[in-house]
A and B are shown apart, each in its own frame.
Chain A
Amino acid sequence: MANQTNSGNERVDLAYRRRKNAEEMRHQMIAFVLMILLTLIAFAAVGYEEFSHWFVVPFILLLAAVQVAFQLYYFMHMSHKGHEFPAMFIYGGVAVMLLLVWAFTTVIWW
C-alpha cells in the first residue's frame, strides 16, 4: 500500500546498495562462523568431564543468550533502522519474564 520511495536516482542507489549488501554479507558470514564456534564450545563444555555442573549450566545459558543476540541482530536485521518497535516489544517481553522468574524464585518458597 505505502509508496516505497527512494532517492530517485537509480544508479546511485544501486552502487550504494551493492556496497551495503556486501558488507551485510560479511557480517552474516562472521556471525555464522561465530555461532558454529559457540555451539562447538557448548558441546565441548558438556563433554569435558572436569567441569562441574555449576559451571557448565550457566555457561551454556550465557552462550545461548549470545546466540539469540546474533540471530536477532545479524540474521533478522534488528540492528537496521525501522526495527525499533520489534526491539521495544522484545525487550518488554524479556523484562516481564525476568520479573516473573525473579518473583517465582523469591516469593514462592514453600
Chain B
Amino acid sequence: MSTIARKKGVGAVLWDYLTTVDHKKIAHLYLISGGFFFLLGGLEALFIRIQLAKPNNDFLVGGLYNEVLTMHGTTMIFLAAMPLVFAFMNAVVPLQIGARDVAFPFLNALGFWMFFFGGLFLNCSWFLGGAPDAGWTSYASLSLDSKAHHGIDFYTLGLQISGFGTIMGAINFLVTIINMRAPGMTFMRMPMFTWATFVTSALILFAFPPLTVGLIFMMMDRLFGGNFFNPAAGGNTIIWEHLFWVFGHPEVYILVLPAFGIFSEIFATFSRKRLFGYSSMVFATVLIAFLGFMVWAHHMFTVGMGPIANAIFAVATMTIAVPTGVKIFNWLFTMWGGSIKFTTPMHYAVAFIPSFVMGGVTGVMLASAAADYQYHDSYFVVAHFHYVIVGGVVFALLAGTHYWWPKMFGRMLNETLGKMTFWLFFIGFHLTFFIQHFLGLTGMPRRVFTYLPNQGWETGNFVSTVGAFFMAAATIILLINIVVTTAKGEKVPGDAWGDGRTLEWAIASPPPVYNFAQTPLVRGLDAFWLEKMEGKKELTPAEPLGDIHMPNSSFLPFVIAFGLFVAAFGFTYHNDAGWGLPVGILGLLITLGSMFLRSVIDDHGFHIHKEEVLELEKKEANA
C-alpha cells in the first residue's frame, strides 16, 4: 500500500472513512457526527424556546413537546457533547504523548460506529411512532407508563449501543496513555488535556456500567416481561433513579473535565506562559473525579432519602467546589503577567471563567438540601445546568474547534468570523439562561409545555427565546466560517498559532498518517516549547529513522455495530410482530459473525518504508 497522497474520488474517500482505523480520521468522524447531532439538538432547543416564547402558545403541545424536550437533552448529552469531546481526544491525545496511533485502533473505530449507530437508532424513533418522552433522565415511573409508542425502547436500546462504544473509547484511551507515551513523557510531564482525557476515561469506565445495568433492567421491564422497577410486582422505581444518577453525576464531570483540559491548553498557549500550578491542576482533576462518585444523590434530595443521607450528600457535593476553585485560580494566575494574545479560542477561555463560576455558585446553592426543596424541578435548575454545560462544555468545544482546527485540517478558521461567532454566542447564552434563574425562583416549573398569562413570566421567557436565536445565528456563522475556510482558507505550518507548547504543534498540519517520523524524546513539560526556547525548530528524536508499522483498515467495525442496530429493531418490535425475533437474532448473528471473522483472520498490518517516510517528510518541508 502506498501512502503517497493522490486525488481520490468521492467513493474512495467514503470507503476510506468507513474502514479507517486512523485516530485522526476517527476524530473527523466524531467531529462531523457530533456536530450534526449538535445542530439537531440545537434545532430542538429552538423549537422548545419558540413554544415557550409567549403564554398559551400552541406551537408544540403536550406529548410532542415532551418528545422534543427529551430528545434535546438526550441528544445534547450523549450524541453531541460526548462525541465532540471524543473528537478532540482522538485528534490530539496521541499527538500530545508522541504516539503513532492509539493502543487499539480497531477498537477505536468500533467505538465510533457503536456510538453512531446507537444515535441513529435513537433518532429513528421520530419516524416510527414517536420519540422517547420521559425526559433525558427517563425516570422509571414515567417511562414504564409511556405506552403509546416505542419511544422509550429506542432510548434504552440506542443508549446501550452507544454506551458500549463510549466504554470502548475510554478503555482505549486509558491503555494508550498508560502504555504509549514517548520516551521521557512521564505522567507529570503530560499536557493537561491528556491528563483530563486520562481521568475522564477512568470516570467513563466506572460510571457507564451502572447506566448499562439500569438500561438493561429497563429493557427487561419494557420488552421482556421484567419487573425490576414495577412496585406492583415487587420492584422499586427508585432503583432506576440511583442507577441513573450514579452514572449521571460522573457524566457531568466526564463532559467538563475535558473542557477544563482544553482551556488549560488555551490559557497557557495564548498567555505564552507555563500553566500555573501544573501539579495542583493534576491533583485537582483527580480529586474532582474521585469526589464526583460520591455525590450522585444530590439529584434526589426530594425523593425522601432522609435527613442524614441528604446532609451527607450535601456536604460531599460542596467539597467539590474546593478543587474546582483551585483550578479557577490557577487559570487566572496563568494569565497574570502573561503576554496575552486575544485569539478566538482565548475569547472563549476568558468568557468561560465568569460563566462557569456562575454555574458553580448556583450549584452550591442547589447542593443545600433544604433549599433545594424550593429550587427543585424549577427553571432555576435549567439555568444552573446550562451555565455549567454551555458556559463550560460548549464554550470549550467551540474554543477547541477554533484552536485545533488548523492542526486537524491544515487551514486556519477565519478569526474575524470566529470572533463574531463568539460574541453572538456569548451574548445569546447569557440572554437565554440568566433570566431563567429568576423564572425559576418565581416558580416556573421545568418540563412543562406552557404557562398562563399574568404570572409574571412573559418578559423573562420572551427574552430567553431571543437569546436562543442569537446562539442560532452564532452557529450559522460558524458553519459559514467552516465552509469558507475549507474552500479557501490559508494553509498553516505545523506550529499554526506560532505559540504551540505541546508535541502536536511540532509536526505538520494535518499530521502525516504515522504522526511522528521519529518518536520524539521528551525533556520536560511543554516539550515543544522547551525545544523552541533552545533555538531548535524540531523535536529531539528518540530513535533512528526506520520502517513504520501501521494497522490495516477494516470494514468490520462498521458491520459489528450495524448488526446491533438491526438487532435493536428486531427486539423493539418482537412483541408486536412475528418478524421481530428473527430480525433480532439475525442482527446478533451479523455482529457475532463479524467478531468471529475478526478473531480468525490474521492481520499483521503493513509497513511504511523508510524511503517513503523520507520522501513524505521532504515534501512536507517544501510545502
Where the two chains meet, the residues of A that have a C-beta atom closer than 8 Å to any C-beta of B are 1-2, 85, 89, 92-93, 96, 99-100, 103-104, 106-110
Contact = CB atoms under 8 A, between A and B. Distances in A.
Contacts of B210: 100
Nearest to B171: A89
A89 B205 contact: yes
Interface stretch (B108-116, B236-244, B491-499): B236-244
Contacts of A89: 174, 202, 205
A1 B309 CA distance: 51
A104 B309 contact: no
B294 A99 contact: yes
Q: Which 6 pairs of residues, A with B, have the shortest CB-CB distance?
A: A107-B305, A107-B309, A96-B206, A108-B238, A85-B178, A96-B293
Interface of B: 174, 178-180, 202, 205-206, 210, 236, 238-239, 242, 246, 293-294, 297, 305-306, 309, 549
Given A1-B180, A1-B549, A92-B202, 9 more contacts: A2-B179, A89-B202, A93-B205, A96-B293, A99-B294, A100-B246, A106-B309, A107-B297, A107-B306
A93 B242 contact: no
B589 to A, nearest CB: 32
Nearest to A106: B309
A103 B242 contact: yes
B180 to A, nearest CB: 8
A108 B239 contact: yes
A106 B239 CA distance: 12
Q: Is the interface of B mostly helix, strand, loop or mixed?
A: helix
A107 B415 CA distance: 53
Contacts of B206: 92-93, 96
13 contacts: A2-B179, A89-B202, A93-B206, A96-B206, A104-B239, A106-B309, A107-B297, A107-B305, A107-B306, A108-B236, A108-B239, A108-B242, A110-B238
A56 B293 CA distance: 33
B81 to A, nearest CB: 23
Contacts of B236: 108, 110
Contacts of B179: 2
A94 to B, nearest CB: 10
A19 B210 CA distance: 45
Contact of A103 (B180, B297, B306): B297
A32 to B, nearest CB: 29
Nearest to A100: B246
A110 B549 CA distance: 59
Contacts of A104: 239, 242
Nearest to A103: B242
Nearest to B305: A107
Contacts of B246: 100
A96 B242 CA distance: 13
A10 B306 CA distance: 67
Contacts of A106: 309
A1 B182 CA distance: 12
A103 B309 CA distance: 9
B167 to A, nearest CB: 13
Interface centre among A103, A106, A109 (most CB of B within 10 A): A103
